[in-house]
Copies of this chain bind each other. A is one copy, B any other.
Amino acid sequence: MGRPGPNASPTLEQVARAAGVSRATASRAINGLPYVSEKAREQVAHAVEVLGYRANQVARSLATRRTGSIALVMSEPGNFVLSDPFFARVLRGIYSGLSGSQLQLVLLMTNEQDEDGFARYLCGGHVDGALVVSLHGEDPLPSLLVEAGLPVVLGGRPLVRVDAPYVDVDNFNGACLAARHLIDTGRTRVATIAGPADMAVGMDRLSGWRRGMAGTGFPTDAVAHGDFTVEGGAAAMRRLLESHPDLDAVFAASDLMAVGALQTLQAAGRRIPEDVAVVGFDNLDIAATASPPLTTVRQPIEEFGRTMTWRLLAQLSGEAGLPPSILLQTELVRRESA
Protein backbone atom coordinates (compact mmCIF):
# COMPACT_ATOMS: atom_id res chain seq x y z
CA MET A 1 0.00 0.00 0.00
CA GLY A 2 2.92 2.36 -0.58
CA ARG A 3 5.23 3.59 2.12
CA PRO A 4 4.32 6.44 4.42
CA GLY A 5 4.01 9.54 2.30
CA PRO A 6 5.22 12.89 3.55
CA ASN A 7 1.83 13.74 5.00
CA ALA A 8 0.98 10.33 6.39
CA SER A 9 0.02 10.51 10.04
CA PRO A 10 2.72 9.28 12.36
CA THR A 11 2.00 5.98 14.09
CA LEU A 12 2.58 4.79 17.59
CA GLU A 13 5.48 2.80 16.26
CA GLN A 14 7.24 5.97 15.15
CA VAL A 15 6.54 7.72 18.41
CA ALA A 16 7.97 4.78 20.33
CA ARG A 17 11.09 4.74 18.22
CA ALA A 18 11.60 8.48 18.58
CA ALA A 19 11.15 8.20 22.33
CA GLY A 20 13.43 5.19 22.56
CA VAL A 21 10.82 2.96 24.18
CA SER A 22 8.61 0.08 23.13
CA ARG A 23 5.19 0.49 21.59
CA ALA A 24 3.66 -0.86 24.77
CA THR A 25 5.30 1.76 26.94
CA ALA A 26 4.45 4.51 24.53
CA SER A 27 0.84 3.37 24.55
CA ARG A 28 0.72 3.34 28.33
CA ALA A 29 2.29 6.77 28.58
CA ILE A 30 -0.10 8.26 26.07
CA ASN A 31 -3.11 6.79 27.80
CA GLY A 32 -1.96 7.93 31.20
CA LEU A 33 -1.77 4.43 32.65
CA PRO A 34 0.25 3.77 35.77
CA TYR A 35 3.60 1.98 35.84
CA VAL A 36 5.45 4.24 33.47
CA SER A 37 8.65 5.90 34.65
CA GLU A 38 8.72 9.64 34.74
CA LYS A 39 11.54 9.58 32.26
CA ALA A 40 9.71 7.43 29.74
CA ARG A 41 6.62 9.55 30.15
CA GLU A 42 8.54 12.68 29.29
CA GLN A 43 10.28 11.19 26.31
CA VAL A 44 7.02 9.96 24.89
CA ALA A 45 5.30 13.28 25.48
CA HIS A 46 8.13 14.99 23.68
CA ALA A 47 8.01 12.62 20.72
CA VAL A 48 4.23 13.08 20.46
CA GLU A 49 4.70 16.82 20.41
CA VAL A 50 7.43 16.77 17.81
CA LEU A 51 5.76 14.33 15.47
CA GLY A 52 2.30 15.77 15.93
CA TYR A 53 1.02 12.33 16.81
CA ARG A 54 -2.69 11.62 17.08
CA ALA A 55 -3.82 8.16 17.97
CA ASN A 56 -5.71 6.40 15.22
CA GLN A 57 -9.07 5.94 16.86
CA VAL A 58 -10.10 3.23 14.46
CA ALA A 59 -7.18 1.04 15.41
CA ARG A 60 -7.79 1.80 19.04
CA SER A 61 -11.42 0.86 18.68
CA LEU A 62 -10.56 -2.43 17.10
CA ALA A 63 -8.32 -3.28 19.99
CA THR A 64 -10.48 -2.01 22.83
CA ARG A 65 -13.90 -2.62 21.32
CA ARG A 66 -14.87 0.86 22.40
CA THR A 67 -15.31 3.79 20.08
CA GLY A 68 -15.79 6.66 22.48
CA SER A 69 -18.89 7.87 20.74
CA ILE A 70 -22.62 7.34 20.87
CA ALA A 71 -25.24 8.13 18.30
CA LEU A 72 -28.41 10.12 18.51
CA VAL A 73 -30.73 8.64 15.94
CA MET A 74 -33.65 10.69 14.73
CA SER A 75 -36.31 8.86 12.82
CA GLU A 76 -37.53 11.94 11.07
CA PRO A 77 -36.72 13.64 7.84
CA GLY A 78 -33.93 15.99 8.83
CA ASN A 79 -35.59 19.20 7.86
CA PHE A 80 -38.51 18.46 10.12
CA VAL A 81 -36.47 17.81 13.23
CA LEU A 82 -34.28 20.76 12.49
CA SER A 83 -37.06 23.22 12.88
CA ASP A 84 -38.63 21.69 15.94
CA PRO A 85 -37.98 23.64 19.15
CA PHE A 86 -38.65 20.51 21.14
CA PHE A 87 -35.65 18.68 19.72
CA ALA A 88 -33.33 21.58 20.23
CA ARG A 89 -34.09 21.35 23.94
CA VAL A 90 -33.79 17.57 24.07
CA LEU A 91 -30.42 17.94 22.43
CA ARG A 92 -29.32 20.44 25.00
CA GLY A 93 -30.25 17.96 27.71
CA ILE A 94 -28.28 15.22 26.02
CA TYR A 95 -25.15 17.34 25.77
CA SER A 96 -25.55 18.28 29.37
CA GLY A 97 -25.83 14.61 30.33
CA LEU A 98 -22.75 13.85 28.33
CA SER A 99 -20.53 16.50 29.82
CA GLY A 100 -17.51 15.07 31.50
CA SER A 101 -18.01 11.66 29.95
CA GLN A 102 -15.40 11.86 27.20
CA LEU A 103 -17.98 10.59 24.76
CA GLN A 104 -18.64 12.19 21.41
CA LEU A 105 -22.22 12.60 20.30
CA VAL A 106 -22.85 11.81 16.68
CA LEU A 107 -26.19 12.75 15.13
CA LEU A 108 -27.77 10.56 12.51
CA MET A 109 -30.94 11.23 10.63
CA THR A 110 -32.79 8.57 8.76
CA ASN A 111 -32.29 9.28 5.14
CA GLU A 112 -35.03 7.81 3.01
CA GLN A 113 -32.49 6.93 0.36
CA ASP A 114 -30.34 4.73 2.43
CA GLU A 115 -32.01 2.86 5.25
CA ASP A 116 -29.49 0.12 4.83
CA GLY A 117 -26.30 2.10 5.21
CA PHE A 118 -27.87 3.49 8.31
CA ALA A 119 -28.19 0.16 10.08
CA ARG A 120 -24.82 -0.90 8.78
CA TYR A 121 -23.25 2.16 10.29
CA LEU A 122 -24.83 1.65 13.69
CA CYS A 123 -24.32 -2.09 13.89
CA GLY A 124 -20.88 -1.98 12.35
CA GLY A 125 -19.09 -0.89 15.46
CA HIS A 126 -18.92 2.83 14.79
CA VAL A 127 -20.59 3.71 18.07
CA ASP A 128 -20.82 2.28 21.57
CA GLY A 129 -24.52 2.85 21.90
CA ALA A 130 -27.46 4.75 20.54
CA LEU A 131 -30.20 7.06 21.68
CA VAL A 132 -33.24 6.71 19.45
CA VAL A 133 -35.88 9.42 19.43
CA SER A 134 -39.13 10.25 17.67
CA LEU A 135 -40.09 6.74 16.74
CA HIS A 136 -42.99 6.42 14.39
CA GLY A 137 -45.41 3.56 14.15
CA GLU A 138 -43.74 0.23 14.01
CA ASP A 139 -40.28 1.30 13.03
CA PRO A 140 -38.12 -1.85 13.04
CA LEU A 141 -34.92 0.04 13.74
CA PRO A 142 -34.78 -0.45 17.51
CA SER A 143 -35.20 -4.21 17.24
CA LEU A 144 -32.54 -4.32 14.58
CA LEU A 145 -30.06 -2.50 16.76
CA VAL A 146 -30.87 -4.54 19.84
CA GLU A 147 -30.47 -7.80 17.95
CA ALA A 148 -27.11 -6.62 16.73
CA GLY A 149 -26.10 -6.24 20.35
CA LEU A 150 -25.92 -2.47 20.40
CA PRO A 151 -26.88 -0.83 23.69
CA VAL A 152 -29.91 1.29 22.94
CA VAL A 153 -32.11 3.66 24.92
CA LEU A 154 -35.34 4.84 23.40
CA GLY A 155 -36.72 8.31 23.89
CA GLY A 156 -40.42 7.72 24.27
CA ARG A 157 -42.31 4.50 24.77
CA PRO A 158 -42.15 2.33 21.66
CA LEU A 159 -45.42 1.22 20.14
CA VAL A 160 -44.21 -2.30 19.54
CA ARG A 161 -42.57 -4.65 21.96
CA VAL A 162 -38.84 -4.23 21.81
CA ASP A 163 -36.27 -5.34 24.31
CA ALA A 164 -34.75 -1.93 24.95
CA PRO A 165 -35.11 0.43 27.89
CA TYR A 166 -36.89 3.69 27.32
CA VAL A 167 -37.27 7.04 28.98
CA ASP A 168 -40.56 8.79 28.62
CA VAL A 169 -42.58 11.62 29.98
CA ASP A 170 -45.68 10.69 31.90
CA ASN A 171 -48.02 11.64 29.10
CA PHE A 172 -50.86 9.60 30.49
CA ASN A 173 -50.89 11.31 33.84
CA GLY A 174 -50.31 14.74 32.35
CA ALA A 175 -53.32 14.41 30.09
CA CYS A 176 -55.33 13.11 33.00
CA LEU A 177 -54.41 16.21 35.01
CA ALA A 178 -55.52 18.39 32.14
CA ALA A 179 -58.91 16.72 31.88
CA ARG A 180 -59.47 16.87 35.63
CA HIS A 181 -58.60 20.54 35.73
CA LEU A 182 -61.24 21.23 33.12
CA ILE A 183 -63.80 19.21 34.99
CA ASP A 184 -62.86 20.79 38.33
CA THR A 185 -63.39 24.24 36.85
CA GLY A 186 -66.91 23.39 35.85
CA ARG A 187 -66.65 22.26 32.25
CA THR A 188 -69.04 19.57 31.14
CA ARG A 189 -68.53 19.16 27.40
CA VAL A 190 -64.81 18.53 27.00
CA ALA A 191 -63.28 17.76 23.62
CA THR A 192 -59.74 16.71 22.80
CA ILE A 193 -57.43 17.22 19.88
CA ALA A 194 -55.30 14.10 20.01
CA GLY A 195 -51.92 13.44 18.42
CA PRO A 196 -51.23 11.01 15.60
CA ALA A 197 -52.48 7.50 16.24
CA ASP A 198 -49.17 5.99 15.16
CA MET A 199 -47.16 7.50 17.99
CA ALA A 200 -47.21 6.39 21.59
CA VAL A 201 -47.11 9.97 22.77
CA GLY A 202 -50.33 10.61 20.89
CA MET A 203 -52.02 7.50 22.25
CA ASP A 204 -50.93 8.05 25.83
CA ARG A 205 -52.24 11.59 25.95
CA LEU A 206 -55.54 10.39 24.58
CA SER A 207 -55.82 7.57 27.10
CA GLY A 208 -54.90 9.95 29.89
CA TRP A 209 -57.63 12.34 28.85
CA ARG A 210 -60.13 9.47 28.83
CA ARG A 211 -58.97 8.43 32.29
CA GLY A 212 -59.45 11.98 33.53
CA MET A 213 -62.95 12.08 32.14
CA ALA A 214 -63.88 8.66 33.45
CA GLY A 215 -66.43 8.56 36.19
CA THR A 216 -67.61 12.11 35.64
CA GLY A 217 -70.57 11.01 33.62
CA PHE A 218 -69.68 13.53 30.90
CA PRO A 219 -69.34 12.34 27.31
CA THR A 220 -65.94 11.60 25.76
CA ASP A 221 -66.92 11.32 22.16
CA ALA A 222 -65.53 14.65 20.98
CA VAL A 223 -62.17 13.49 19.66
CA ALA A 224 -60.27 14.75 16.63
CA HIS A 225 -56.73 13.93 15.60
CA GLY A 226 -54.03 16.40 14.61
CA ASP A 227 -50.40 16.13 13.63
CA PHE A 228 -48.88 18.24 16.42
CA THR A 229 -48.68 21.35 14.21
CA VAL A 230 -50.53 24.66 14.46
CA GLU A 231 -52.32 24.07 11.17
CA GLY A 232 -53.29 20.55 12.20
CA GLY A 233 -54.71 21.86 15.46
CA ALA A 234 -56.69 24.56 13.71
CA ALA A 235 -58.21 22.07 11.29
CA ALA A 236 -59.07 19.58 14.02
CA MET A 237 -60.76 22.36 15.98
CA ARG A 238 -62.89 23.24 12.97
CA ARG A 239 -64.05 19.65 12.74
CA LEU A 240 -64.84 19.53 16.45
CA LEU A 241 -66.79 22.75 16.29
CA GLU A 242 -68.86 21.32 13.51
CA SER A 243 -69.53 17.94 15.12
CA HIS A 244 -69.88 19.24 18.69
CA PRO A 245 -70.89 22.90 18.61
CA ASP A 246 -71.84 22.72 22.28
CA LEU A 247 -68.33 22.02 23.54
CA ASP A 248 -67.09 24.23 26.36
CA ALA A 249 -63.51 23.01 26.69
CA VAL A 250 -60.78 21.37 24.68
CA PHE A 251 -57.58 19.63 25.62
CA ALA A 252 -55.01 19.76 22.80
CA ALA A 253 -52.21 17.20 22.98
CA SER A 254 -49.57 19.79 22.13
CA ASP A 255 -49.10 23.52 22.56
CA LEU A 256 -48.78 24.07 18.85
CA MET A 257 -52.12 22.37 18.26
CA ALA A 258 -53.60 24.38 21.12
CA VAL A 259 -52.47 27.58 19.42
CA GLY A 260 -54.16 26.42 16.23
CA ALA A 261 -57.31 25.66 18.21
CA LEU A 262 -57.18 29.15 19.72
CA GLN A 263 -57.12 30.65 16.25
CA THR A 264 -60.08 28.63 15.04
CA LEU A 265 -62.11 29.31 18.16
CA GLN A 266 -61.44 33.03 18.07
CA ALA A 267 -62.27 33.19 14.39
CA ALA A 268 -65.55 31.49 15.26
CA GLY A 269 -66.29 34.19 17.81
CA ARG A 270 -65.79 32.05 20.91
CA ARG A 271 -64.22 33.76 23.88
CA ILE A 272 -61.35 32.04 25.68
CA PRO A 273 -61.81 30.98 28.42
CA GLU A 274 -65.35 32.29 28.96
CA ASP A 275 -66.97 30.24 26.19
CA VAL A 276 -64.34 27.58 25.69
CA ALA A 277 -61.46 26.65 27.97
CA VAL A 278 -58.26 25.45 26.27
CA VAL A 279 -55.43 23.39 27.72
CA GLY A 280 -52.26 22.47 25.83
CA PHE A 281 -49.34 20.16 26.44
CA ASP A 282 -45.56 20.75 26.47
CA ASN A 283 -45.21 24.19 28.01
CA LEU A 284 -43.11 25.51 25.14
CA ASP A 285 -42.28 29.21 25.11
CA ILE A 286 -45.21 29.75 22.81
CA ALA A 287 -47.62 28.71 25.56
CA ALA A 288 -46.69 31.72 27.67
CA THR A 289 -46.80 34.16 24.78
CA ALA A 290 -50.04 32.96 23.21
CA SER A 291 -53.07 35.11 23.69
CA PRO A 292 -54.55 34.38 26.00
CA PRO A 293 -51.60 32.70 27.71
CA LEU A 294 -52.10 28.98 27.57
CA THR A 295 -52.79 26.71 30.50
CA THR A 296 -50.76 23.65 29.69
CA VAL A 297 -49.00 20.53 30.94
CA ARG A 298 -45.32 21.01 31.54
CA GLN A 299 -42.94 18.26 30.57
CA PRO A 300 -39.27 18.45 31.52
CA ILE A 301 -37.69 18.45 28.07
CA GLU A 302 -34.03 18.99 28.89
CA GLU A 303 -34.37 16.50 31.73
CA PHE A 304 -35.74 14.03 29.23
CA GLY A 305 -32.57 14.26 27.13
CA ARG A 306 -30.37 14.19 30.19
CA THR A 307 -32.07 11.11 31.58
CA MET A 308 -31.83 9.16 28.33
CA THR A 309 -28.13 9.89 28.29
CA TRP A 310 -27.68 8.92 31.90
CA ARG A 311 -29.48 5.65 31.28
CA LEU A 312 -27.30 4.78 28.30
CA LEU A 313 -24.08 5.69 30.08
CA ALA A 314 -25.11 3.60 33.06
CA GLN A 315 -25.70 0.67 30.78
CA LEU A 316 -22.38 1.17 29.02
CA SER A 317 -20.55 1.18 32.30
CA GLY A 318 -22.12 -2.15 33.15
CA GLU A 319 -24.25 -0.93 35.99
CA ALA A 320 -26.62 -3.62 37.21
CA GLY A 321 -30.27 -3.52 38.16
CA LEU A 322 -31.15 -0.64 35.91
CA PRO A 323 -34.85 0.11 35.45
CA PRO A 324 -36.22 -0.99 32.08
CA SER A 325 -38.08 2.27 31.80
CA ILE A 326 -38.13 5.66 33.44
CA LEU A 327 -41.08 8.00 33.52
CA LEU A 328 -40.64 11.73 34.05
CA GLN A 329 -43.26 13.70 35.93
CA THR A 330 -45.52 16.20 34.27
CA GLU A 331 -47.46 19.01 35.96
CA LEU A 332 -50.21 21.41 35.17
CA VAL A 333 -49.22 25.03 34.56
CA ARG A 334 -52.19 27.35 35.04
CA ARG A 335 -52.47 30.44 32.91
CA GLU A 336 -55.45 32.24 31.47
CA SER A 337 -56.87 29.94 28.82
CA ALA A 338 -58.42 27.52 31.30
Interface residues of A (CB under 8 A from B): 1, 7-9, 52, 54-62, 65, 67-69, 78-79, 81-85, 87-89, 91-92, 95, 98-100, 102-109, 111, 113-114, 117-118, 120-121, 123-126, 147-149
CB distance from A51 to the nearest CB of B (A): 12
A120 touches B87 (CB 8 A): no
**15 A-B pairs (CB sep. < 8 Å):** A52-B147, A54-B120, A55-B124, A56-B62, A57-B121, A58-B58, A59-B62, A59-B125, A68-B117, A69-B121, A78-B95, A82-B84, A83-B83, A103-B117, A107-B108
Measured CA separation A85–B79 after assembly (Å):
8
Instruction: For the A-B complex with A82-B82, A102-B114, A105-B111 known, give 6 more contacts whose Cβ atoms are closer than 8 Å.
Output: A7-B149, A56-B124, A62-B62, A82-B83, A104-B117, A126-B126
Taking a contact as CB atoms under 8 Å apart, the answer to whether A82 and B88 are in contact is: yes
**B residues in contact with A125, CB < 8 Å:** 56-59
**CB-CB < 8 A to A92: which residues of B?**
78-79
A113 touches B126 (CB 8 A): no
Please determine whether B105 and A91 come into contact, CB atoms closer than 8 angstroms.
Answer: no
- Are A58 and B62 in contact (CB-based, < 8 A)? yes
In the A-B complex, the 10 residue pairs with the smallest Cβ-Cβ separation, listed nearest first, are A57-B124, A107-B107, A82-B88, A79-B88, A58-B125, A99-B113, A104-B121, A58-B61, A106-B106, A78-B91
Q: B104 and A57: CB pair below 8 A? A: no
**Which of B9, B67, B87, B117 is close to A58, meaning CB atoms less than 8 Å apart?**
B67
User: In chain B, what residue has the closest Cβ to A83?
Assistant: B88
Cα distance A68–B116 when bound, in Å?
A: 13
Question: Given the known A-B contacts A9-B149, A78-B88, are A107 and B109 also in contact in the complex, defined by CB atoms under 8 Å?
Answer: yes
A269 to B105, CA, bound (A): 50
CB neighbours of A87 from chain B (8 A):
82
**Is the CB–CB distance between A54 and B124 below 8 Å?**
yes
Shortest CB-to-CB span from A109 to chain B, Å, is 7
The docked-state distance in angstroms from the alpha carbon of A52 to that of B98 is 32
Asked whether, in the complex, the Cβ of A124 is within 8 Å of the Cβ of B83, the reply is no
